[in-house]
Amino acid sequence: MGGYIGWICHVCDDALLDECLEAKHYTCCWYHQHLEWNHTSFGHLLCLLCRRLHGRLLYAPTLKHAYSVGLGLLSMSTPPVFGPCKDYKKECIGHTQKVMFYVALPLIAVGLAGHMVSLTPFLDLQTKNESKEKDEKKKEKEKEDENENKNEKEKKSSEENENKIFLQIPGVMLIVAMAGGIGLPYIKPWSLRFGIPAICSVVATVFFFSGWLKPLNYKHKKPEGSPLTATVRVFVAAARNISRPVPDSKELNNEDDTPSTRSLRCFDKAAIKLPEGQHSNKWKVCNVRDVEDNKIGVRLLPMWLTFIVIGIVLSIGNTYYLEQANRMDRKLGKIKVSIPIFLLFYTVTSNIFAEFYSFLTTLSKKYAPPIGIATGMLLSVLCCITAAKVETRRLHRIRDHGLLDKPDEKIPMSIFALLPQFMLLASVDGIANNSITGFFRHQTPESMRRYLAYCTKGVLGLGHMASVLSVYVVGKVSERNGKPNWFQYTLNKSRLDRYYWVLAGLSAVNLVIYVIVACFYKYKESLEDEDEDEVEGGEMNEDFDDKKCCC
């Protein structure tokens, strides 16, 4: 449901902003990145809070409410519902509609974050518990009566048939979501475009809460500790001992004989042994293992910062690419192609390149992630160059046909001219996402591995938010010496081609910086038999133990 709503928001909202709110293009960009970045970054933050303070069972209902209310407010913000008039014009949008519209944004972002964080682990918890109970019951029955083998086989076959039917449900849901994503843009009233997803969300929420009723009581998992606490404790303990000299290895609190590295020795002060009575205070003395984990996190920062530029490039796919496509010729013969087809093409291409990265990991687990990241950065440069050249062609068509002051007119240029840049951007998404996740998997401390997916989405989410700042800065710089801003109220008057060239240059510089940092980075040795099994959403199979992680 979350991906379905994301499709609709990205395809429809930019046009609504242009039609009704007459927003400048960097405002539309801010809106999309607000939705994109907040739901990814909120996911990381809410995951930590969920594990530390609440279980998933209490967490999911609150986010379900936020999601449904946000979609409802988005639907009611359209003029036909509460507007002074029914037309989609600026004068039909009152203060109340604007308030509902902008209040709906953070609610939807929180709801999407909740789906990303809690939905898959929550379902996994329910199915795991149910399968365990079924296995126990089967063992008891087999012990009680070993002569009923025929009946058992019949029951197993019926259960297998039920499971097959159950496994078909996600496929049906996916087909419905794809059909809705393709069909909804053809519905003209915005109230229905937003109203239908809102109704679907309410129905899904009702079904969810029906699980509270017996006999469908949900299983509950107790709150767990957060590795973020251990990181903060290391900083606090090191700050307490800042005036003391760097300790020798004999002076460190090293209960499990963890080797101490020679880099970032200032953090070793957090593990200085204290008198026996003070060892129980976790905020005064830490274990060497916790200190070493913290050092790894600090050494990751330079590499981590280079990933933000990838997020900046990925952000243009959900903003300017779709705005370009919205006014181009969509006809393929006699068929009018819907924009969500391009989003489907983007997803398929991204998955193909993700599989290509999986092939790289079979060659070298240690060096596949950094090579994959460099490949993604190189492709991002090519993507921006391609997008700049296509946009230059589009602007020439606009000037040749006198459409500069006619932003609502269709441009006589096929929408399929955007396919190369969509494909390149999808390749960046597929390779970079998996490469960054693989890099975090092999280089992050064990205590942070359950948050791998959130680390990746968090850093790319920062890139989405930084893209808004980049648009603002580039626009201000372009205004110098009395020149017009590259970002105007209409895309026809804007100079996106120049902005794409700026992104190409920024990505090229970032690639050079990354190569330098990667060459000097000290990689951890990856064990071939290392357990890398993860459930979707960054959850590791092994439960996190706050007592083991923290000081």
Please name the helix (run of DSSP H) or strand (run of DSSP E) that holds residue 414, with its range, or none.
strand 411-414
Most confident of 54-58, 162-166, 374-378, 452-456: 374-378
Considering its fold, how many domains does the chain have in total? 3
Domain co-membership, 69 together with 212: yes
Cis peptide before 215 (omega within 30 of 0): yes
Please give the backbone phi and psi of residue 122, each rounded to the nearest 5 degrees, phi first. Answer: -65, -45
What per-residue confidence (pLDDT) applies to 135? 58
Q: Are strands 411-414 and 328-329 parallel, antiparallel or unpaired?
A: parallel
Domain boundary pick from 223, 250, 275: 223
Which residues are 400's β-sheet partners?
A: none
Residue 162 banded pLDDT, cuts 50, 70, 90: very low
- 187 within a domain of the structure (yes/no): yes
d(CA 98, CA 78): 9
Domain co-membership, 55 together with 22: yes
- 145 within a domain of the structure (yes/no): no
Q: Which residue has the tokens 């042994």?
A: 273
- 155 within a domain of the structure (yes/no): no
* Residue spans of alpha helices (H) in 364-418: 368-400
pLDDT at 4 over 50: no
Q: Is 449 exposed, middle or buried (0-12, 13-18, 19+ CB in 10 A)?
A: buried
Domain boundary pick from 179, 206, 223: 223
Over residues 400-453, the pLDDT tens digits come to 888 888 877 888 898 899 999 999 999 999 998 888 888 888 887 776 766 666
Domain co-membership, 66 together with 202: yes
For 203, the domain range is 1-128+163-223
Domain co-membership, 462 together with 316: yes
**What end-to-end distance do the CA atoms of the chain give, in Å?**
41
Over residues 462-500, the pLDDT tens digits come to 887 788 888 889 988 988 888 888 888 888 888 889 999
Amino acid, single-letter form, for residue 67: Y
- 156 within a domain of the structure (yes/no): no
Distances from the Cα of 342 to the Cα of 112, 322, 334, 348, 466, angstroms: 22, 9, 18, 10, 25
Higher pLDDT: 273 or 510? It is: 510
pLDDT at 283 over 80: no
Greatest Cα pair distance, the chain, in angstroms, is: 92
Which residues are 335's β-sheet partners?
A: 332
Distance of CA 338 to the CA centre of its chain: 25
d(CA 420, CA 54): 46
What per-residue confidence (pLDDT) applies to 515? 93
Q: What is the CA radius of gyration of the chain?
A: 27
pLDDT at 530 over 60: no
Residue 272: DSSP 8-state? B
What is the three-class DSSP state of 365?
Answer: coil
What is the three-class DSSP state of 413?
Answer: strand
Domain co-membership, 398 together with 487: yes
3-state helix vs strand vs coil in the chain, percent to 5: 75, 5, 25
Q: Are 121 and 453 in contact (CB under 8 A)?
A: no
d(CA 324, CA 421): 12
Label residues 220-258 b or e (16+ Cβ within 10 Å = b): eeebebbbbbbbebbeebbebbeeeeebeeeebbbeeeb
Classify the phi-psi angles of 48: left when phi > 0, otherwise alpha if psi is within -120 to 50, otherwise beta.
alpha
Domain co-membership, 440 together with 341: yes
Domain co-membership, 306 together with 197: no
- 103 within a domain of the structure (yes/no): yes
- 136 within a domain of the structure (yes/no): no
Please give the backbone phi and psi of residue 332, each rounded to the nearest 5 degrees, phi first. Answer: -125, 90
In this structure, what CATH number is given to the domain that contains residue 21? 1.20.1250.20
What per-residue confidence (pLDDT) applies to 433? 86
What is the three-class DSSP state of 544?
Answer: coil
- Which sign, positive or negative, has the C-alpha torsion 221, 222, 226, 230? negative
Distances from the Cα of 335 to the Cα of 183, 188, 190, angstroms: 14, 18, 23
Q: Is 432 exposed, middle or buried (0-12, 13-18, 19+ CB in 10 A)?
A: buried
Domain co-membership, 426 together with 534: yes
What per-residue confidence (pLDDT) applies to 5? 47
Domain co-membership, 252 together with 387: no
- 203 within a domain of the structure (yes/no): yes
> Which two structure tokens, joined as six digits, stand for 232?
């903060």
What per-residue confidence (pLDDT) applies to 205? 73
Residue 123 banded pLDDT, cuts 50, 70, 90: low
Domain co-membership, 485 together with 511: yes
What per-residue confidence (pLDDT) applies to 78? 78
Which residues are 414's β-sheet partners?
A: 329
Domain co-membership, 353 together with 474: yes
- 433 within a domain of the structure (yes/no): yes
Residue whose C-alpha is closest to residue 270's, from 296, 297, 298, 289: 289
Domain boundary pick from 202, 223, 244: 223
Residue whose C-alpha is closest to residue 493's, from 417, 418, 391, 383: 391
Q: pTM value?
A: 0.70
Domain co-membership, 378 together with 272: no
| Other Cβ atoms closer than 10 A to 326 | 18
